[in-house]
Amino acid sequence: MQKTIPALYKSYLQGRQSAQGSARGDSTITWRGIGVGAAMCVLIAIGVPYGGLVIQGTRLGLSSATPAAFFLLFVLLLTVHLGLGCLRRSWAFTRGELLVIFSMMVVATAIPTRGVTGMLLPMITGATYYATPENKWLELIHPLQPLHLLVGDKRAITAFYEGSPGAQIPWEFWLPPLMHWLVFFAALYLSLVSLLVIFRRQWVEHERLAYPMVQLPLAMVADGEEERLLRPFFKNRLMWAGLLIPLLFNSLNALHHYDPMYPAFKIDQRMSIFDESVMLRLNINFLILGFTYLINSTLTLSIWFFYLVHLVQERVLTLMGTGVAERTLGQWSEPGMGHQMMGALFVLVLYGVWIGRVHIRSVLAKALGRDRQVVDDDEMLSYRGAVLGAVVGLGIMAGWLWLSGIPAWIVPFVLLSALVIFIGLARVVAEAGLPTVTPGMVSAALTVSCIGVPALGAKGLVAVSYTLVWIGDLLVFMAAPLANILRLGSDGVRRRRRLLGAIGLAMAISLVVSVWFTLHLAYRYGAVNLHQQYFSNFAIEPTVFAVRQLDNLDGADWSGWLRLGGGGAAMAALMYARSRFYWWPFHPLGFATSMGWVMNTIWFSVFLAWALKLSVMRFGGIKSYERSKYFFMGLALGQVVSGGIWLVIDGLTGVVGHRIRVY
């Protein structure tokens, strides 16, 4: 019987994947790989909180680059993988196993700190612990709080912050609110996985985004022409030269921390501009330098150029007095600039939907059974499952937010703004490779500014303030690791549907274990003794945010709407110029990222990456670039490896407070 077109295409895909697998080593996802990945997730869920709260050392989980995953992959390849292979060659990890292990570690790393646990536990207890007769939170805020989402027992909360002699966790008070939050995070992650599966082919195959952070693990696990235990990546001298630079640099500074007689070396200068009102940092971040060297020079130029333009614009707006209203939003919005960045992100996401409209239309047709020729066998989740998952996940989130106290007609605005931030920043990570990227404004601040406190009502305002638990501090957010994992799975991985189960398992392990272990540490040592920012500052932020707005009962900020539209218009103009004029030197993504609060610490490294790559391409050509990129991969990896090594040393020696920046 003659094969249909979909069957022929399916056979072609299977043949192509088989050829890729044989050329690159066995890329099948196995149960052994998932089992090892699960064990590594447990290690991360315990090690990351212990390193950050007890050792108070290098923060291997505080970045969307998920440094802990890179460090453990490096260790795994040079120890367990080689050891198993020496005992019996067939026992060594295959390429597919290494990729699924790394993917699970990436997901697990995004949860224990500010991804979930580090924000959730203090924020659902802080209002009660820090309430005093002076601030009157018990009288003003407590009646308005969504009590089913918060720990309600005063003694359990006091023991959490101050420690208890037996270090017993009173689960009867913790489990009810944690179960409610588990439902929300499950729906959030289901929505993100489903939406990113829908976008995957558009980003990976049609637009061919660079995914700089994926290039490093793919290079680490790649097989050479001769199948040997030691991967070719680890035989590259330029890679080792790059790795040794941050390793030696950070080791010298670590020795200075141990004994001040050793000299310290810091590449961090500050230059004042605009009558000393603005400090411009000139520092080198090897992680940023390494990853951004791998992206388009036009994009690196735009990132540092638009950041400098942003400084000028910010100074002008300050002199004009613009953005004063935004200051009531606290740290959750950049005064005068937060709306502008949100406008840019809205246009970025909408433009992505527009240029991918043909693909999205085919996804919907496949999901509804109207076009059987669309092939989704190579996706982690079928298109029908992805569309259904997005609808169900967003529906559960909407109902959950409504039950928490947000008015029903405002819930879609909160969800839309959150999705724009998650998807927009995930695209930035996929295209620009910035390990650390944050928005200039979060959903809670945008909702208060654009909708107004009277429309929200007092109870709705307090409910919106608790969205800071899941979309507040975004140094690490799940959408970025998920986007990178979907790119990893596109590289000839077989039995890709197993990857979905592996990711779900990693999420569950990391969430459950990290919550349990953090609670254990808090009841043993007292949370206030572990981490001031988490358990002193973040703990009160939802309440402080709500109180500040209740004291300032303004309606919608129409000037904020104008800045939102202005940011969107500027982004649209930049996109138009890039698509119409071949000589246009700027990438619109640089404008969208220029207003995040972390840019002051990374812009100079992006500038160096741009200057160095430009020089290499001009004087050595593409071949020199292909050779040199291993040196810069080594720089990025070396920063993470040095942080991991010294965290282990600090833990063994009992040294507290020594940190190497890996974000």
- Average pLDDT along the chain: 88
**What average pLDDT score do residues 83-93 get?**
91
Place 160 in a pLDDT band, splitting at 50, 70 and 90.
Answer: very high
pLDDT digits (tens, 9 = 90+) for 20-55: 433 345 678 889 999 999 999 999 999 999 999 999
Residue 627: which pLDDT band, with cuts at 50, 70 and 90? very high
Contact 111, 511 (CB under 8 A): yes
The highest-confidence range among 285-294, 377-386, 485-494, by mean pLDDT, is 285-294
Q: For 541-549, what is the mean pLDDT? A: 91
pLDDT value of residue 166: 79
Which residues, in sequence order, are bridge partners of residue 270? Answer: 281
For 13, half-sphere exposure in the C-beta direction (CA atoms, 13 angstrom radius) is 18
Give the whole-number percent of the chain exceeding pLDDT 90: 65
Residue 227's pLDDT is what?
A: 67
- Residue 266 is predicted with a pLDDT of 79
Confidence of residue 259 (pLDDT cuts 50, 70, 90): confident
Cα 85 to Cα 82: distance, rounded to the nearest angstrom: 5
Please enumerate in sequence order all residues whose Cβ is within 8 A of that of 451, keeping only pairs 6 or more positions apart, or say none.
410, 413, 556
Average pLDDT for 570-592: 92
Structure confidence by residue, pLDDT tens digits, 184-230: 999 999 999 999 999 999 999 999 999 999 999 999 998 876 667 88
C-alpha 526/C-alpha 162 separation (Å) is 4
Contacts 24+ apart (CB under 8 A), 374-377: 375/6, 375/9, 375/10, 375/13, 377/10, 377/13
CB 185 within 8 A of CB 116: yes
Mean pLDDT over 469-497 rounds to: 85
pLDDT at 532 over 90: no
**CB distance 346 to 572 below 8 Å:** no
More confident residue, 323 or 330: 330
Alpha-carbon gap, residue 337 to 490, rounded angstroms: 37
Tokens of 400: 């959950």
Burial status of residue 331 (CB atoms within 10 A of its CB: 0-12, 13-18, 19 or more): middle
- What pLDDT sits at residue 4? 46
Banded model confidence at residue 312, pLDDT cuts 50, 70, 90:
confident
Q: Where are the domains of the chain?
A: 117-223+238-653
* CB atoms closer than 10 angstroms to residue 322: 16
Is the predicted pLDDT of residue 269 greater than 90, yes or no? no
Token pair in block for residue 631: 């040196």
Mean pLDDT of 544-568: 85
HSE value, Cβ hemisphere, 13 Å, CA-based, for 240: 6
Helices 357-367 and 171-201: angle between axes, nearest 10 degrees: 110
Residue 474 confidence (pLDDT) above 80: yes
Share of the chain above pLDDT 70, in %: 93
What's the first-to-final CA gap in the chain, in angstroms?
57
CB-CB contact of 181 with 120 (8 Å): yes
Q: How confident is the model at residue 62 (pLDDT cuts 50, 70, 90)?
A: confident
Query: For 472, how many CA atoms within 13 A lie in the half-sphere containing its CB?
Result: 27
Does residue 9 carry a pLDDT above 60?
no
What is the pLDDT averaged over residues 551-577?
Answer: 87
CA distance 144 to 156: 21
Task: Please give the structure tokens belonging to residue 307.
Answer: 């950041």
Residue 226 is predicted with a pLDDT of 64
**What pLDDT sits at residue 217?**
95
Q: In the block, which residue shows the tokens 């998952």?
A: 389
Distance from the Cα of residue 602 to its chain's centroid: 16
Measured over the CA atoms of residue 5, residue 11, residue 14 and residue 17, the dihedral's sign is negative
Task: Check if the beta carbon of residue 94 is closer than 8 Å to that of residue 28.
Answer: yes
What is the pLDDT at residue 6? 45
The answer for residues whose C-beta is within 8 angstroms of residue 190's C-beta and 6 or more apart is: 389, 390, 392, 393, 396
Residues 6+ apart with CB under 8 A from 208: none
**DSSP secondary structure code for residue 536 in this structure:** I
Q: How much is the pLDDT for 496?
A: 74
Distance from C-alpha of 449 to C-alpha of 101, rounded to nearest angstrom: 43
> How does residue 12 score in pLDDT terms, banded at 50, 70 and 90?
very low
Which stretch of 77-91, 562-576, 589-603 has the lowest confidence by average pLDDT?
589-603
CA 576 from centroid of its chain's CA atoms: 29
Q: Is the pLDDT reported for residue 650 higher than 60?
A: yes
Instruction: Assess whether pLDDT exceeds 80 at residue 8.
Output: no
Look at residue 23 in the predicted model and tell me its pLDDT: 36
The span from the CA of 202 to the CA of 41, in Å, is 30
Distance CA 13, CA 85 (A): 31
Weakest mean pLDDT among 161-165, 277-281, 480-484, 636-640: 277-281
The rounded Cα 510 to chain-centroid distance in angstroms is 15
432, 299 contact by CB (below 8 A): yes
User: What's the pLDDT at 14?
Assistant: 44
Task: Please tell me the predicted confidence (pLDDT) of residue 10.
Answer: 46
With contact defined as beta carbons under 8 Å apart, do 573 and 416 qualify? no
